[in-house]
Amino acid sequence: MSRASSAVPFRTAVPGVPGPVVRNGTASTDDADGRAALTLEHVVTQADDAREDGHPRWSIARDARARLRLRGSRKWFFGSLWGVAYLAVPIASIWTSAHTPTLIAVLSTALITAVGVAYVVIPPLLWGRPWPVAAAVFASFVALTCLGFPLIGINTVWLWIYVPIMAAMSWLPAAFIIGTIAVVVVAQLIVTAATGTFLGNWYAAALTASISIMMFAFGQQIRAVVRLRDAQSEIARLAVVDERERFARDMHDVLGHSLTVVTVKSELARRVMAQDPQRAQAELVDIERLSRSALADLRASVAGYRAMSLDTELAAAHAALVAAGVKPHLPASGDAVEPELREVFAWVLREAVTNVVRHARAKNCWVALERRAVIVGDDGRGTATTAGPAGGDGHGLAGMRERAAQVGGEVTVEPGEDGGTVVAVRVPSGASSRTARRTGGAQ
């Protein structure tokens, strides 16, 4: 089975929707009229498949035709016309010369035309090829131009200027392009010196060197722009990934905590329904309030404007612990924490208390707030349960580590003195400001 059977060799373009960007002739965008858009990778794959199926000639012809239909090829054709226009000068001088026989003029015109056609079509055919193949093609091109020595004499060396230009536009290694420029310039100097026409044609080598270096620099600039666009695309992709992770983390923190409290209060309301209807009703009212609060938090998170309040989370933690039958030992407010750390510590407090309610089976929960630290401890089942039912960090503890890392803090999970677990987030002095500067510089 050919490789084409496992991939889409020709992608059908959707009218009005652009496809991959042309990059050094290795891809093409969809045409505006919705015609099939090809990429160089597809072209190479189809040619290899045809070769494997026993159709080498057909594969070569199809490869050439497909390469010449690439969007990048059409752009090159337009740009190369300015170089082809240069050939009109020697053709005009040949036909306007009274000393040139008609046969020589016809043959010279045919040769120069062939050189121009080769100059236009060779670069797209070399895109993605190894440099030895390009070297063989350029040698053949020079051999073709050498047929001009019997026809137009030493002026043939002027045709060699196209070789380094084609090398620069074939996206070959920089060392190969520089070597090609050097070889062509030296060859022009040697030929003009050997034929005694150096004084009249030395500037052919100078012009070849200057134009070739300019085209080499132009090609390198195109490559730099392409790499920049690739980097920008990668940055955009990573930004999307980071935003997805942030959104998933917020959803876990918001809904995980709220739904845990709702579940605990629902179980409590069910247990006391018969003995204490008023208590059950109060719990149901609280469940309604929590549900509405969770919905508001969800909407705020989706909008990206959610700001956590440490004092609010202390109150919510107190309510959640009481509903779960855990005695809370909490500070009255979060004023002891530095302002820039309060939002992060609020997220950490929410997740840590949620873990206590959900997994610890504790009777007591202690929360301590310091200037640059938050510590949550319990007397429950121990460290192994804090990470989650399946062990490991789980989403909650991983989210804590990510949020702590944003301000340069560190999360520690240790066994408590009362047999439970102590989760602490500590931020060294100055770490949050350094992290903010690094984040700002990266942007």
pLDDT in tens, 135-154: 999 999 999 989 988 888 88
Examine the fold and report which residue of 69, 88, 115 is the final residue of a domain before the chain moves on.
69
**How many Cβ atoms are within 10 Å of 228's Cβ, its own excluded?**
10
| Average confidence (pLDDT) over 354-373 | 90
17 confidence band (pLDDT: 50, 70, 90): very low
Is residue 243 included in any domain, yes or no?
Answer: no
Q: Please give the structure tokens belonging to residue 194.
A: 């050997």
Angle (nearest 5°) at CA 249 between 243 and 251: 100
CA distances for 160 relative to 139, 166, 184, 255, angstroms: 11, 10, 7, 71
Max CA distance (Å), the chain: 123
Is pLDDT above 90 for 364?
yes
What residues contact residue 145 under an 8 Å CB cut-off, 6+ apart?
A: 111, 115, 156, 159, 160
Q: For 85, how many CA atoms within 13 A lie in the half-sphere containing its CB?
A: 6
CATH number for the domain harbouring residue 340: 3.30.565.10
Per-residue pLDDT reduced to its tens digit, 276-316: 888 888 888 888 887 877 777 776 666 555 567 888 889 88
Is residue 433 included in any domain, yes or no?
Answer: yes
Q: How many helical (H) and strand (E) elements, i.e. helices and strands, does the chain have? A: 16, 5
Q: Quote the domain boundaries for residue 17.
A: 1-69
* 334 or 68, which is more confident: 334
Is residue 255 included in any domain, yes or no?
Answer: no
Per-residue pLDDT reduced to its tens digit, 23-48: 333 333 333 333 334 455 555 555 55
Contact indicator for 188, 160 with CB cutoff of 8 Å: yes
Is residue 20 included in any domain, yes or no?
Answer: yes
Q: Please give the structure tokens belonging to residue 116.
A: 């121009």
Q: Which residues pair with 414 in a beta bridge?
A: 422
Angle (nearest 5°) at CA 360 between 357 and 366: 75
Is pLDDT above 70 for 228?
yes
Is residue 155 included in any domain, yes or no?
Answer: no
Is pLDDT above 80 for 14?
no
Is residue 226 included in any domain, yes or no?
Answer: no
Contact indicator for 359, 405 with CB cutoff of 8 Å: no
What residues contact residue 371 under an 8 Å CB cut-off, 6+ apart?
A: 336, 337, 338
Percent of the chain scoring above 90 in pLDDT: 15
Euclidean distance between CA atoms 361 and 179, whole angstroms? 75
Examine the fold and report which residue of 18, 46, 69 is the final residue of a domain before the chain moves on.
69
pLDDT of residue 330: 93
Phi, psi of 20 (to 5 degrees): -60, 145
| Average confidence (pLDDT) over 363-368 | 93
Is residue 363 included in any domain, yes or no?
Answer: yes
User: pTM of the full predicted structure?
Assistant: 0.48
Examine the fold and report which residue of 69, 96, 129 is the final residue of a domain before the chain moves on.
69
- 214-220 long-range contacts (CB < 8 A, ≥24 apart) are 215/164, 215/165, 215/168, 215/169, 216/164, 216/168, 216/174, 216/177, 216/178, 216/181, 218/168, 219/168, 219/169, 219/171, 219/177, 220/174
Is pLDDT above 90 for 227?
no
Structural domains of the chain, count: 2
Is residue 157 included in any domain, yes or no?
Answer: no
